[in-house]
Structure formats: structure tokens, C-alpha cells
Amino acid sequence: MLLQKWAHDSAAWEALVDGDQEQVIGRRKSDSVELDDKPSDSHLASTDQDTLGKIFRRNMPFGTVTDHGTMFVGFCARQEPLQKMLESMAGLDDGSRDALTRYTRAVTGAYYFVPSTDSLRALVSPEE
């Protein structure tokens, strides 16, 4: 599991017109449909699961009016797809940094091991 806290620059993000925000993300705001001509540095292109591997991802907002952002959690059976996603977002794979990182920055991040339910069951003795 990868857990990260991201702080957002809302003023810079909100200064963009909808079309520019869509180019950064790679989806239309109105219906969340992927853009046919999404930029290669869009967030969607940088985190493409068909390229990187399947990751169960969730984001939740946190904070106050002045200090806010997103808590991201990504679950994967292996750490490699999570690492590849971060490397892609940083531009280590092709030199093209994820455009979304112009408006948000990771302030914390850590990997955690989450055992499977079968592994946890194996730790419990039959009489418990």
C-alpha cells in the first residue's frame, strides 16, 4: 500500500480555465470522460494503469480553507506498479513530469505492507 498526503495550490488551479484544467488531468470536467487527445504529461497519461499495472486507488480531501489537499491511498499486490507510477509522475521514465504536480505536491508518503486475509487467518489458531 502507498499512502501519501498531497497539499494543493488551489489559487493556481482555480486560475486555470476549465479547458486548461482538463488538459492537466486528461479528462473532461463535465462527465469525466477521457480526452481523445490528452497531453502526454496529463495526470491520466502519467498514471495509466494499462502501462504501469493495476492499482486500486482512492483519494479523499482533507483540511481547512487555508491548509488542504488530498490523502491518496493505492493498493497493489506488488510494490513495483506503485513505484513505476511515482517514477512516471516525476518524469523519470520519459522526462515529462505529470502536469498535475504543478498544482499539488506530496508532503508525506510511505509504503505499508498489508497482509492478505488468508495470511491473517493462518496466524489464528483453531481454538481462537
Chain segment 11-35, per-residue pLDDT in tens: 999 999 999 999 999 999 999 999 9
Instruction: List the domain range (segments joined by +) for residue 51.
Output: 2-123
Is 42 a member of any domain?
yes
Provide the β-strand partners of residue 56. Answer: 75
Phi and psi at 15, nearest 5°, equal -70, -15
Spatial distance between the Cα atoms of 65 and 67, rounded to a whole number of angstroms? 6
Is 128 a member of any domain?
no
pLDDT at 125 over 80: no
Spatial distance between the Cα atoms of 40 and 44, rounded to a whole number of angstroms? 9
Q: Write the single-letter amino acid at 27.
A: R
Average pLDDT for residues 59-64, to the nearest whole number?
A: 94
Q: What is the CATH number of the domain that holds 54?
A: 3.30.70
Q: What is the pTM of this model?
A: 0.86
Domain tally for the chain? Answer: 1
Buried b (16+ CB within 10 A) or exposed e, 105-117: ebeeeeeeeeeee
pLDDT at 40 over 60: yes
Spatial distance between the Cα atoms of 128 and 125, rounded to a whole number of angstroms? 6
